[in-house]
């Protein structure tokens, strides 16, 4: 496991977060490439950092993963391909569980078996499967939910 620390993201982190998101998202080879890296950076800066509480995980090389939380919704959780499986994502999702929300929900592509196993290992349960008609990529997805023990 890697040696990572977390902190709240700032507006100055937009480019570094995009450098995590773009290559990680492009690992999902079953998805169509709908956006450029420049569009990804704009989206992080002008949408994600403005609408969500974003936490970054840092290693010796800087930001290596991030989680965007909007209320109970985990909008995004991505780790740079070089650190997938090293613990940065686990650190972020466990931090989100401690955010005070009674539950967390998120969407994941059905074909993303690595991410699905990750969420299930962290206590998330699949609650809904769709054909993807509501997502931008039009790919089948699954809704996950984690609820705090009463």
Domains in the chain with CATH codes: 5-147 (3.40.630.30)
Q: Residues 76-94: what's their mean pLDDT?
A: 93
**pLDDT-based confidence at 93, cuts 50/70/90?**
very high
Distance, in Å, from the CA atom of 18 to the CA atom of 13, rounded to the nearest integer, reads 9
The pLDDT value recorded for residue 29 is 63
The model's pLDDT over 52-76, given as tens digits with 9 standing for 90+, comes to 999 999 999 899 999 999 999 999 9
Residues in the chain: 150
Strand order through the sheet with 103-109: 5-8, 53-59, 62-70, 73-79, 103-109, 141-147, 125-130
Rounded to two decimals, what is the model's pTM? 0.90
Angle at 43 between CA 38 and CA 48, to 5 degrees: 145
Angle at 28 between CA 55 and CA 131, to 5 degrees: 100
């Amino acid at each position: 496991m890697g040696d990572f620390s977390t902190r709240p993201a700032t507006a100055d982190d937009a480019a570094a977060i995009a450098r995590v998101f773009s290559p990680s998202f492009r690992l999902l080879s079953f998805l169509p490439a709908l956006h450029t890296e420049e569009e990804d950076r704009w989206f992080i800066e002008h949408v994600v950092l403005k609408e969500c509480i974003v936490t970054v995980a840092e290693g010796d090389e800087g930001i290596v993963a991030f989680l965007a939380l909007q209320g109970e919704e985990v909008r995004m959780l991505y780790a740079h391909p070089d650190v997938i499986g090293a613990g940065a994502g686990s650190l972020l999702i466990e931090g989100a569980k401690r955010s005070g929300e009674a539950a967390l929900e998120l969407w994941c592509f059905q074909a993303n078996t690595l991410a699905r196993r990750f969420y299930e290992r962290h206590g998330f349960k699949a609650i809904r499967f769709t054909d993807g008609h509501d997502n931008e990529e039009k790919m089948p997805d699954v809704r996950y939910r984690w609820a705090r023990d009463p």
